[in-house]
A and B are shown apart, each in its own frame.
Chain A
Amino acid sequence: MPIELHGVGFTYPDGSRAIDDVSLRVADGERVAIVGQNGAGKTTTVKLMNRLLIPTKGDVLIDGASTAKRTTAEVARDVGYVFQNPDDQLFAADVRSEIEYLPKYLHWSDQKREERCSRAIELTGIQDHLDTNPKDLPSAVRKFVAIAAVLVSECRYVILDEPTAGLDSRGLALLHGMLDRLRDEGVAVITITHDMRFVVDAFERVVAMADGGVIADGDRRDVFLDDDILRRSRIRRPDAAQLARDLGLGRRALTVDDVVALVP
């Protein structure tokens, strides 16, 4: 079942318009990367998906039903949001309490709580840090604690805001593994990011935004093929893709693996 934005617009109380007439549909298990320059409307768009912002125009539907009458807390159970800065989100004195907060708040059975918590802990690789205060952890680990605290819910859509910022190579490998597991479970992942290498390595579908609207939405190879889309959304091809193009090796090559296959 999908999450759908129907002609959604958002204008701040001071009259400045962040996005206008955005329509998007994200299905179960899908992975979508939203890209574009600072101020294009990416953050506003994803905040409207889980009702952190309320549309001033249009409607957001989850599983075909309008969210207009639902509270942000209710919508957040379907659509999880992991902030770019984990410190905007974490509050508990140790990692275990952070992860168990939601299950306790919702009065889940011991068995369900145990199941959801161990899944979230395993997916994010934070087993060794459960008794630590999140503030004493390196920021890369804190990031995974923040992700775990969202994954423990039964949300079927997860929004990741700049998930690769500050991650080391081990953290990146963990993140890629987690994305694959989430897809197997049918959980959709929507990311907003400036990291184009991450986009082409992990997301099939790319939505390019500019000036508060969607200017392209489709297969990553089509989006990155089109110079006009890149220029208007002010994004760049990753280095390997640009290199393949400069060398005349292939216009649809995007990842390092693609380029390795093309070099004689």
Chain B
Amino acid sequence: MVLAALKGVGFTYAYAEHPALVDVDLQLEEGLLHGIVGLNSSGKTTLCSLIRGVIPHFHQGDLTGEVTILGRPLLEWDAAELSRTIGCVFDNPFTQISGIRDSVFEEIAIGLENLGVPRTDMIDRVERVVEQLGIEAIVEKNPNELSGGQRQKVAFASIVAMDAPVVVIDEPTSQLDPEASEAVFEIIDGLKAQGKSIVLAEHKIDLLAQYADTVTVMHAGTVVMSGPTRDVVGSDEFGSYGVVAPEVTELGRRLAAAGRPLDRLPITRGEAFDEISARMRSTHAH
């Protein structure tokens, strides 16, 4: 089934002068990891809020065009049902952490409590995600005492624990170090392996190129490119929206400029390794 289908969608936040989304056409399939890239203020967060139904169920504004989520028009969804179906991690963990729980453990469990999950099951699920994210050392802490990076991990953990079939995540790694960022991507990859659909707005293009099935580029409130990761990230057009290409793609382009192009432009380190080692073997053989 189609996860999200948008046709000619526009959205202007209430009291805003300019539209946040303009004439967006986009189709995202179920069961895949969809990366959304684009500069700040390009519409990524608004797109995530729309797919999650926070727009228009919570944020008011002027919505035009057609939005269909899992085969049903967005406006026909019951807000509570949508919350159970789509988990969402916002980009600013300070707004997501409830602040009404005394420990990180309880904070992670709050979504499960709201869904009425049995206590033993709830504890199991929280313990599992705590271990996956390696945050055992902070589970007894008060969420209000955490650093930005720690809060970001807790906000992410609370959504993973909810086990929703669809997860929308807005920049989960913006305050995380490289090791923690990779851990987050590995968990997201694990969610996909369980058959979940993931929409992920993210700046770290090297990780996205490695893990995402499709990439959508947003620019000035609209979708300017969307398709399989390789087609989008490896295209010349990709750079024209100001988005920085993966480092190995840059390497491939510089080699081409130096008159030594690789057979295929790499978008991941693994691909670059294969291309260059093939080159080295053939050079050696001559």
Which residues of A approach B to under 8 Å, CB–CB? 36-39, 138-140, 165-166, 168-170, 172, 194, 196-197, 234-236, 238-240, 242-243, 246-247, 249, 256-257, 259-260, 263-264
Is B26 engaged at the interface, CB distance under 8 Å to the other chain? no
Q: How far is the CB of A113 from chain B (nearest CB, A)?
A: 31
* Residue contacts A-B, CB under 8 angstroms, 25 given: A37-B180, A38-B147, A38-B150, A38-B175, A38-B177, A39-B149, A138-B41, A140-B40, A166-B40, A168-B39, A169-B242, A169-B243, A169-B244, A170-B242, A194-B181, A197-B247, A235-B178, A236-B182, A239-B246, A243-B273, A243-B276, A246-B273, A257-B254, A263-B276, A264-B279
A37 surroundings in chain B (CB, below 8 A): 177, 179-180
Q: Does B280 reach chain A (CB closer than 8 Å)?
A: yes
- Set A138, A240, A246, A263: member contacting B247, Cβ < 8 A: A240
A168 near B243 (CB under 8 angstroms)? yes
Q: Give the interface centre of A36, A172, A197, A239 by most chain B CB atoms within 10 Å.
A: A239
Name the A residues within 8 Å of B273 (CB-CB). 243, 246-247
Does B255 sit at the interface, judged by CB under 8 A?
yes
- Contact count band on B: 35 or more
B276 engages A247 (CB within 8 Å): yes
Give Cα A218 to B170, complex, Å. 36
Q: Which of A36, A238, A247, A260 contacts B255 (CB 8 A)?
A: A260
Q: How close is A40's CB to chain B, nearest CB, in angstroms?
A: 8
- Nearest Cβ distance between residue A209 and chain B, in whole angstroms? 11
Q: How far is the CB of A91 from chain B (nearest CB, A)?
A: 20
Beyond contacts A243-B272, A256-B250: 13 other A-B pairs, Cβ-Cβ < 8 A, are: A36-B177, A37-B180, A165-B203, A194-B178, A239-B272, A240-B247, A243-B248, A243-B269, A247-B273, A247-B277, A263-B255, A264-B260, A264-B283
